Chain A
Amino acid sequence: ETGVTQTPRHLVMGMTNKKSLKCEQHLGHNAMYWYKQSAKKPLELMFVYNFKEQTENNSVPSRFSPECPNSSHLFLHLHTLQPEDSALYLCASSQGSGAGDTDTQYFGPGTRLTVL
């Protein structure tokens, strides 16, 4: 596998369920990101990790819990979500520190989440 992969690609869950989204990058990058893309809204940055340490939390509700066990894997744990959390969740990675003045992000295909 190459690039950034995300599983599952589609997920339907009830408001009382607990589920997790998985992201894996095969690019040797040090930084990983979670974005949310709701219908008719711009991509919203949720979390940023650099070298497994969270460096950005964009005021995300606690029902979204990220985990970065190593530089290649990123999870988003979901619990007691609301219907308005239905969206496309995108993962990205980049070289991060050491990339110089610019740092290109590589995105996965996303997980389409529907909360009933």
Chain B
Amino acid sequence: DAKTTQPNSMESNEEEPVHLPCNHSTISGTDYIHWYRQLPSQGPEYVIHGLTSNVNNRMASLAIAEDRKSSTLILHRATLRDAAVYYCILRDRRDSSYKLIFGSGTRLLVRP
């Protein structure tokens, strides 16, 4: 499985944008990039995913580098509720097991 590298932690001020980076230099052409987050005392929740093009949804935006070796999750206006551990995960579109392999993620702290 291709690996991802994320910073252990990041801090942000409330109502400011947050850019969470993820490096995946060994990504293959069939790997999708998924982001999940885990709020305190909860199970992980889906945030966004993409393959090649940038993606937007109501929670966040995903910017994917042209060579796909890195990506950035963008929270446009951080709130206190966005404090969580954010996981960047690669999953091969050919994988019929549908499993997710979680790394250590980035712990995001949001200052009021």
Contact = CB atoms under 8 A, between A and B. Distances in A.
29 contacts: A4-B43, A31-B98, A33-B99, A42-B102, A42-B104, A42-B105, A44-B102, A48-B97, A50-B98, A90-B43, A90-B44, A92-B43, A92-B44, A96-B98, A99-B98, A101-B51, A101-B93, A102-B32, A104-B46, A105-B44, A105-B100, A106-B45, A106-B46, A107-B42, A107-B44, A107-B45, A109-B41, A109-B42, A109-B43
A66 interface: no
B43 A42 contact: no
A107 B98 contact: no
Contacts of A106: 45-46
Given A42-B105, A102-B49, A107 B100 contact: no
Contacts of B7: none
Interface of B: 32, 34, 36, 41-46, 49, 51, 91, 93, 96-105
Contacts of B46: 104-106
Q: Is the interface of A mostly helix, strand, loop or mixed?
A: strand
Interface of A: 4, 31, 33, 35, 42-45, 48, 50, 55-56, 90-92, 94, 96-97, 99, 101-110
Residue among A48, A94, A97, A101 having the largest count of chain B Cβ atoms under 10 Å: A101
A45 B99 contact: yes
